[in-house]
């Protein structure tokens, strides 16, 4: 059965809605800032301190109001269990839960900006008060309670933001992982910051007891603490690696059995291997089907953690460089490390059931398995032919069992080896199979023409909603997203392409 949401917007409507949500977020920030500024600038409670420093107090307080709100909501998007539960409710038609990380980043950008405004304004205030009181500007900024806590939080925020840059995060994930936990230091500095009552009113009550930040933080903080407890309890359930398979191209397949674990096609899990790191968790899309009775993931050995995981499973880098057949790499009874599994969690790929026609695109070295639909077009763009061998058996099975259901399109963008070129030249086309992949589907050389692909889909499936699912590089993601908007028929009729991307 094809299931669709009660209401589904066209891609153009979705694009406009995303823009509207972003503008709404910016507008709410500006409104809060300027309404607070108006209150302090024209109010009469703080006229004494305003006489000394001018609008520096109003500016700092306005930025603080935005910081309170943003710091209070920034933890909600990273509560994976909460997001996974909410995305299958009616609220998913209103709130884009699959964009939780994107929203988390937007809030983080706002925090960085208003932290800069807040600190800059207070440095001015410290300077002006240093001229009018016995405490110097340096003492106010570095030694006083408000100044010291501000410095601690600002330093923690700086380290978190710089290590979260995409280039750093991809090249040094461990640095990002450890540094991001400085959020504990960041909030530890903010909680007592306002309690020191740097700005006092003209008459009692001079300030709010305990500050105001905790009122905003308690909701998100409590939810995040509950989230971490649930994750730990769930991850401690009995889990066992039942099989380790080494695929060509330095790819490790883990088949995992976990008690009381239920999954749906398109979900993902987080893995931790205490033998490699007792604190690091890494996300992987599930490549097993719900009916198989186990969870499987494919791990490319490209970083310290993944290489450490392979070694802990008894796989060496020398083995990984060899072109081993999958059954030769199987280590079903080998000594394997303890592994913790958190999840499965919902992802954008779960929404494949909403559409009768799917276009699944993969850029890079990896592939996710989807269940039965009316028509599935699978496009895989890869640099090396070795990557195609990971799922060679699966792809051949799909071609054999579902010849009218699935159309496979493989694109090779890298240079071929001499023996591969020779094989293509002498290959007997009458065999009906591609010389490189061994599939009935042809392997194309070079990058796909997405305009041609989308035009063909429009001609083949008029008046149809087509789900486009992608996992891969950001540049290719943007190209596909633009193609979906470009080729969607306007006016609510015709073919509509809905873009979905893995985002974790």
- pLDDT tens for each residue of 336-358: 788 888 878 776 656 655 665 66
The pLDDT tens digits of the residues spanning 76-101 come to 999 988 888 887 788 877 787 878 88
The pLDDT tens digits of the residues spanning 213-234 come to 888 899 999 999 999 998 888 8
Residue 425 belongs to what H/E stretch?
Answer: helix 418-426
- Give the model's pLDDT for residue 94: 77
Contact 483, 466 (CB under 8 A): no
Phi-psi sector, 384: left (phi>0), alpha (psi -120 to 50), beta: beta
Whole-Å CA distances, 133 to 128, 139, 146, 377: 9, 11, 16, 73
pLDDT at 323 over 60: no
pTM value surpassing 0.75: no
Contacts 24+ apart (CB under 8 A), 106-111: 106/22, 106/25, 107/70, 107/73, 107/74, 107/77, 108/74, 108/161, 108/164, 110/25, 110/29, 110/66, 110/70, 111/67, 111/70, 111/71, 111/74, 111/157
Helices (DSSP H) in 89-144: which residue ranges?
100-132, 137-142
Q: What CA–CA distance (Å, rounded) separates 272 from 274?
A: 6
How does residue 35 score in pLDDT terms, banded at 50, 70 and 90? very high
Backbone angles phi, psi at 342, to 5 degrees: -115, 120
pLDDT at 309 over 70: yes
Residue that wins the pLDDT comparison between 373 and 489: 489
> Which range has the worst mean pLDDT, 60-64, 97-101, 195-199?
195-199
Contact 80, 104 (CB under 8 A): no
Phi-psi sector, 293: left (phi>0), alpha (psi -120 to 50), beta: left
Backbone angles phi, psi at 162, to 5 degrees: -65, -35
Contact 267, 293 (CB under 8 A): no
- Which residues lie across from 489 on neighbouring strands? none
- Give the model's pLDDT for residue 244: 87
- Give the model's pLDDT for residue 369: 41
How does residue 172 score in pLDDT terms, banded at 50, 70 and 90? confident
Q: Write down the residue that tokens 């790929």 correspond to.
A: 349
How do strand 340-345 and strand 295-300 relate by DSSP bridges? unpaired
Q: What CA–CA distance (Å, rounded) separates 294 from 296?
A: 6
Residue that wins the pLDDT comparison between 358 and 33: 33
Q: What CA–CA distance (Å, rounded) separates 252 from 390?
A: 9
> Which range has the worst mean pLDDT, 165-169, 440-444, 463-467?
440-444
How does residue 122 score in pLDDT terms, banded at 50, 70 and 90? confident
Q: What does the buried/exposed string (b/e) look like for 436-469 if buried means 16 or more CB atoms within 10 Å of the residue's CB?
A: bbebebebbeeebebeebbeebbeebeebbbbbb
């Amino acid at each position: 059965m094809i299931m669709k949401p009660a209401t589904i917007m066209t891609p153009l409507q979705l694009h406009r809605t995303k823009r509207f949500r972003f503008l709404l977020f910016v507008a709410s920030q500006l409104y809060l800032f300027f309404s607070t500024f108006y209150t302090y600038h024209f109010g009469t409670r703080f006229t004494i301190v305003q006489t000394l420093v001018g609008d520096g107090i109003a500016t700092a307080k306005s930025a603080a109001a935005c910081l309170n709100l943003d710091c209070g909501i920034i933890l909600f998007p990273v509560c994976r269990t909460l997001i996974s539960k909410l995305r299958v409710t009616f609220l998913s038609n209103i709130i884009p839960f699959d964009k939780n990380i994107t929203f988390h980043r937007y809030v983080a950008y706002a925090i960085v900006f208003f932290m800069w405004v807040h600190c800059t304004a207070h440095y001015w205030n410290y300077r002006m008060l240093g001229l009018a009181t016995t405490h110097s500007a340096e003492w106010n900024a570095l030694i006083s309670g408000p100044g010291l806590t501000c410095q601690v939080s600002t330093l923690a925020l700086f380290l978190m933001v710089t290590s979260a840059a995409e280039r750093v995060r991809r090249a040094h994930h461990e640095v990002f992982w450890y540094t991001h936990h400085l959020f504990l230091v960041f909030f530890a500095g903010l909680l007592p910051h306002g309690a020191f009552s740097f700005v006092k009113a003209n008459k009692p009550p001079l300030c709010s007891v305990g500050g105001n930040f905790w009122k905003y933080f308690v909701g998100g903080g409590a939810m995040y603490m509950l989230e971490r407890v649930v994750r730990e309890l769930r991850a401690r359930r009995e889990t066992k690696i039942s099989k380790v398979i080494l695929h060509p191209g330095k790819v490790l397949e883990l088949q995992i059995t976990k008690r009381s674990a239920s999954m749906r096609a398109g979900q993902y899990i987080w893995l931790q291997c205490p033998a490699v790191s007792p604190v690091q968790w890494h996300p992987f899309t599930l490549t097993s089907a719900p009916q198989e009775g186990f969870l499987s993931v494919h791990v490319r050995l490209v970083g310290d953690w993944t290489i450490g995981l392979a070694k802990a499973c008894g796989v060496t880098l020398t083995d990984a460089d060899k072109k081993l057949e999958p059954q030769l790499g199987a280590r079903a009874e080998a000594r394997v490390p303890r592994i913790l599994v958190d999840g499965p969690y919902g992802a954008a790929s779960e929404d494949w059931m909403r559409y009768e026609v799917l276009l699944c695109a993969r850029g890079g070295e990896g592939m996710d398995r989807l269940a039965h639909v009316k028509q599935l077009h699978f496009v895989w763009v890869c640099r090396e032919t070795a990557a195609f061998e990971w799922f060679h058996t699966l792809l051949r099975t799909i071609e054999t069992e579902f010849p009218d259901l699935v159309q496979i399109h493989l694109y090779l963008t890298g240079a071929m080896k001499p023996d591969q070129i020779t094989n293509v030249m002498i290959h007997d086309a009458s065999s009906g199979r591609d010389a490189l992949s061994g599939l009935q589907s042809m392997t194309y050389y070079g990058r796909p023409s997405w305009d041609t692909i989308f035009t063909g889909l429009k001609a083949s499936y008029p008046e149809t909603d087509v789900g486009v699912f992608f996992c891969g590089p950001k540049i290719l993601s943007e190209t596909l997203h633009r193609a979906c908007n470009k080729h969607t028929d306007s006016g609510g009729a015709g073919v509509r392409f809905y873009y979905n991307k893995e985002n974790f």
